[in-house]
Structure 1
């Protein structure tokens, strides 16, 4: 708006208050309705997801937002202040159920929330009333819980604390920060991520990239001459950078965190739907983490325990497994996936829920359509389906 006013130049007469509240508001309302018509058509054709998000504003008021998400983006539905309302399973269920009613039950495929116990209670209530609608855990929240759990393991907690203490010390004093920027040529150490533990990874990765510069800095007279460096915290910061054990732990932690952070970027992006890639990329991440520990079970066991615990029942649901099975990128490249009992059970469960009121469609999908997909018959024999086998889903490139 400011840019448009500036381009107009002197002499612009602003709209009157009556115009803002009347004709202009009505025109904008009609324009917005037209923009939403195309999205509503897609919602009716492909279905949509309902998402909930609870948060607190600066006045510490508790707010619950409800949105819909379909193929071309997210739409806001409602916002409700809940400062005086207990966030029980029943209350959340009523809010979600009303949203489903407003949108139309036939247009809703799933509900997406975080993993809080009250949401899990609301899930049970919804399945009782609307058994054909899926309730899915937020993938970004679940993966962040994995990173958090791994970061709390003693061997990783230590390196996080050491890196955190170093960055707090350096950024907490003008002279040390000036010295850091001198040796890193103006580049920062601290890098924000989509979550706190993703930020830890990015900061550790930044430190690893600048390892030689940091080690050169703490043995230089420019650093040693600083008053703050002679304090207890300053000496600890210097010792951290000069410690071979610290850098060894940083390297291992990056090898463990990186595969999961890559999946986090995948599910947190808005460029393309990621459901069909989530389970497959988590399997890949688990393989890479095991390799980082030399495939020695005693070394990776505690990390795998954290991942499996957070993944179980959340990111390995029938819906996730079915999306994995029906993704040519995985199943066409490895046809043995079709023979795995777990995949077939998940597919049947997913079909029964999706077509809950249509047994004929259940049979058609399970006994005929899946076979066509598996055997690459009809549309599945087309060039596009074949090339999708080698599709490169790279969250860093948004493809």
Structure 2
């Protein structure tokens, strides 16, 4: 399969591949005939889809309590049929639901417990524009091995992809860009960059102009400046240690701006009776009184993840606990939908353009959600199956990465960084550095 079918070697870590061959090696299968072409694409595909739906039920059972985000994105398949990709994102990760062929038709998606934040989105859209510029620069460098090697000569830090479903992915990515600003500027004005010739001159100019634009960097700094208190507040959870570490830090009930916005939030979310109960719960939380005066509850605020803290100590404040689960478990981006198109294009490629939309949708459903189920398994982070879908054989390219996509690399996950950059990375970089020296 690997030498005739073109499978990437990283596929050998796929848990399904391992379990299938382990089962075959340890059982007598005399007379067994593997399924044929028609059965694989019809009967067995539907059976596997049903099996995956069954395996997803434990994740779905948490939706009513913790809430979900429904995200969507548009795409055209190889035959130019317009599709809308629908996914549900929750604490466990993005779950593929369906891809709707919207050519000449409309569809209504029923959604319960879903809130619209269009007004906030409109006001903050410029932030996504800046982040979009960052992603263009990042992809421009990482999608070409020579440009990536050139960058690595100027920067001791790696230019990583950050999963948009991870905590504060935009903030994390902008922080990394601020740290590598000097390296990017040095690379852009270097002799190597001047000698390098790129086919897409428009994109090259765009990257150069942004990196050397101090006004653009001022926007990056501004985003980091006004999001820092929010980031820290959610990360550190208003513990006494956090309040004492910085000058001017005050608890939430003493912060006028936070209090005003919190009350607006309560009025929008809770009914009148519930709102006064929520205010009473919040008063106890802020004053560390009533159910929140327990020493373990107070001590755990600093070193426990907020969602876990609310799970352990929030049962006597059910309204706030429910709100905390919903807020802390939601993503702020629909990029998982955009990333899912790489899976779609991998399955419904030009070479497989005769797939009917429904069969392609079923294949994407099984493919994407099996990966989700794999990642919520503890074995995904240990042993021979460790992060089987991260990296791959050609780490210098992020174009059409298909199964082995790099989207979930995160600065929160150093073990992913080590797998991605330590395995064979030195050999690859040596080769690319040799190419740059030839240019010089």
Range of TM-score over shorter length: 0.3 to 0.5
Larger Rg: 1
Q: Name the structure with the higher helix share.
A: 1
